[in-house]
Structure 1
Amino acid sequence: MDSDAPRFAARMTLDTDGGASLGETRVRLLEAIDRHGSINQAAKAVPLSYKAAWDAIDTLNNLAPQPVVERVTGGRQGGGTRLTDYGRRVVAMYRALETEYQTVLDRVAAHLPDAGASDVRAFRQLMRRASMRTSARNQFHGRIVGLRDGQVDYEVRLALDDATEIVAVITRASAENLGLAIGQEVLALVKSSSVLVTTERGMRVTARNQLWGEISAVHAGVVNDEVVIALPGGRSVAAVVTHGSVEALGLAPGMAAGALFKSSAVILATYD
């Protein structure tokens, strides 16, 4: 290849129907979990912070059709974390595609001098803009199973899996702009600050979405704590709760808890 030709390194990202979910850092994290059987050691190997590693795993498990990582309890080592068989297949597929991807990029780069410099710059700008990320902590990949026209707004029901549904209310204009339809795959975003945590079942609240599970982690902060609730099916939802509330409720890993959030707090996104 001409030494003056730009070289594009294969830093591949795989998309689900709901958007980008799997890239180099997350794959290296999965590989490290498979080697070490420990999220703590895997995070150090990448490197990532312990919390960032768990955030990445929670996101992957939420977006994947089945869990890629599972917690293991008991045993002589006191438990740990391991890849599921599905997770190993995902990693193997990613690495195989990455090899082919690099071969294609090298072939394309060899011909770039034939294109105008402005074309190359425009392409690079497009690549940067297309890599947009969201600050929403909770990202769920779901399928639309219900649409109700309320004249001004639309109620959208999403099935995350066979056991879990969430409801979003968006404006009629937004629903039409997104082209929503039954069976469509979409991404649902919920900020962790919009999620309330309760330990009392049967409470009468206005929050339409009530997801019950077991607290898997409490990340302590100076003022606020992050509480992560593991849901049936391998997904999870995170909430930011004041440190005082965590202490008052006695929130701790292993407790049954519910994540409550309004339907208006759910943002929907689709991808062409």
Structure 2
Amino acid sequence: MTSHELVAAWRAYLTDNKRRSPHTVRAYVAAAQRLVAANGLDDWAAVARTEAHHLRTFLAARRADGIGNASAARELSALKAFIAFARRESGDPDPAPPRLRGPRLKKGLPRPVTPDEAVNLTDLVDSLAGEEWIGARDRAVLLLLYGSGLRIAEALSLTGRDAMLGEVLQVTGKGGKQRMVPVLPITRAAVAEYVRLCPWPLSTKEPLFRGAKGGPLSPGMVQRTVAQARRALGLPDTATPHALRHSFATHLLSAGADLRSLQELLGHASLGSTQIYTRVDAASLLENYRKAHPRG
């Protein structure tokens, strides 16, 4: 097998099996191309033998080329996913990627997860999962948090009745209060993919999202999965599952949504709970201003 065939197979897997966005496919394929070219890798076994010290050397060379911490963290996450795929392809019974922490990113004010970071998180939890259906499940859950603003408990309370999502979803929040939330096409596709792969029967009254042994998926498992992914990406500890809901609100507010509409979408009992996002958005604007202004 040639290096070109390796990269082509990786691209096909990301596109056809994982159904990644074109942006993610380009980034992950480019990272794989750089790794195989730099190390002369020409079969899955060779890629599978890539260890942490190899990645450290490779990333040091990339840093010498001028990439920053954030780019290096993204590159590392892409390469970890590629190596895990290679290890599965070569028959490794433990296809986990090398253990290597990404570069530390400068910590500033507490902030929501950016759109790129949210996409990277959802993609990486899928790639790091030991089984394909579990990866699809984790990605679907996180997209519901980020794309629809659900709390973890709300996403995990969905049942098989909710498996065929439409453009809106009725959820039951705190105090039994029901509300309607939008569902993005990417989220509908992710849930449909999970339903297709899930090995457990999804009856209308049983939980939609299942654990590895078929029981209800626990919030703690979602939190641990996100913690693993954020460490691989070099994101701060504030990049939690709840931060995805936080980001949903902040991004809508930045795009012009009014507070009353946002209150309804989030299921807040009082407008005061929603107003915190105006302060966070103002903090983000001030931080960007200071970075951009010549006198900042």
Q: TM-score under structure 2 normalisation?
A: 0.24
Structure with greater helix share of residues: 2
Q: Is the strand fraction higher in 1 or 2?
A: 1
Give TM-score scaled by structure 1 length.
0.25
